[in-house]
Structure 1
Amino acid sequence: MNKALILASMISLLVGCSELNYTKLSMQAKECIADNSVSCNDIRIRHAIAGLQLFRDRITAEPDKAKQEVGEAGYQELLQLVDHKIEYLEQQRPSFYLRWFQSDARYDKEVDFGESIDVAIERIINSQTPAKATPATTPSPIIQDGETVQTASASSEPAYRPASADYKHEYSFLITGRTAEIDYKEVITTNQGTVSFDMHSTSVAQNWLLDNLSVGECIRFRAQYPAKAQGQHHLAFETYISDPEPISCNSMH
């Protein structure tokens, strides 16, 4: 058998295993909404790790494509940072004793998902991307979840990722269409119209979470600033968001 074919088959198998593990953990995470037990906190951390592993498998499966985007040095640094974050998240998991003997107990320790590492990863990816264009028009404000949504304007976001306490605007959506990447934005069709996320402000892990959303799934997250209206039925998130979490669709308002 051709060696290249064998290698391609092995890569496909590895990526397939990563996708299966990520999907399995996504389903488990849905069942952990509002559950602060040891078990559910561990599932949320493992879910984040699985997303990073899936991302790593895919860029190592197509290294030439990744190097075209960030260069050889950027590619190697990106792999090191992803490995570093995976190791860091492993250290955030509850102890072996808690996982095995007190899995249903309340877990009050605050989990750090390594947002400072995300900043370094984003620096590599964004260094090769063009600057964002400023919208030419300013549509009228619309209402979302009982809150006035600001209209589109030039972004004045900070050059750092804020603490999670600064994400004060909560949103929830039912996914009705597959995610697409358009003009360096993650664009998703939802029950409230089109929703887009500026990839200059989302982390690598968040991009993979958004890319792997399924039709019929419901998510919730918080934003640093309210979404902005770009035309009718289009909400644009141009600044930082918290990690999207799967929720029960019955819990949506």
Structure 2
Amino acid sequence: MTQIDLTGRTVLVTGGAQGLGEGMARAMADSGGRIVVADLQDEAGATLAKSLGEQHGFVHLDVTDDASWTAAVAETVERFGALDVVVNNAGVEVTQLLVDTEPDDVRRMLEINLLGTMLGIKHAFRAMRPGGPAGRGGAVINVSSVAATIAFPAIAGYSATKSGVDRLTRVAAMESGKLGYGVRVNCVYPGLVPTAMGQKLAVETAGLGLFESPEAAVGAVVELTPSGRLGEVADIADAVTFLASDAARFVNGAGLPVDGGMGM
């Protein structure tokens, strides 16, 4: 039985300075991976990378900017001599009713959640495919959301972008296979986790009058979840670590729910 072991793998995690991204970085470092924290938050990202150990690192990355991706991947390969796994985790959620849709908010979610993931796949493929600067294949894990599989009020734009991440994942897996890139592409659908983003959603949906209180909003999510609890950062991080490892070597083009059954 193959163990969950990332020894010898260089892993770039976007939005890695906090929240789910930080948890993923720590879990994959614990599994032997060499972690590159990629984020706009330079101080927090560099501090996290330092706390993981001297073999890890930080790169500045704006996931919506093609040139920023080019620079971040080039720096990663130059410093560590490899790029084996890219985790497209960076994302943003704006809570609003459809009748209150603000186009700029939707554009922001589209740019970060969807375009950012697409650019991550682009640059992962270019680096990992035969003839690329890393050139030995690898894995891409995209972070979608249970919001892509359920109908929850006030997150239409977020749900739409995360549904797009699901479709993008499957097309990318097919392209990689057909073109012989040797890169597996999968995604996870995290359930609600009480990170800053998850807490913000509870507060804001209550503020819109959809629930009596933030606690009631959380209770409604738990009630919809067969496992009877919110997710934990470690739940999501462990799933991503599995998909990055050889234990998932024949898992490709898949979406893995990590939501306690909420989206079934």
TM-score range, shorter chain: under 0.3
Rg larger for: 1
Higher helix share: 2
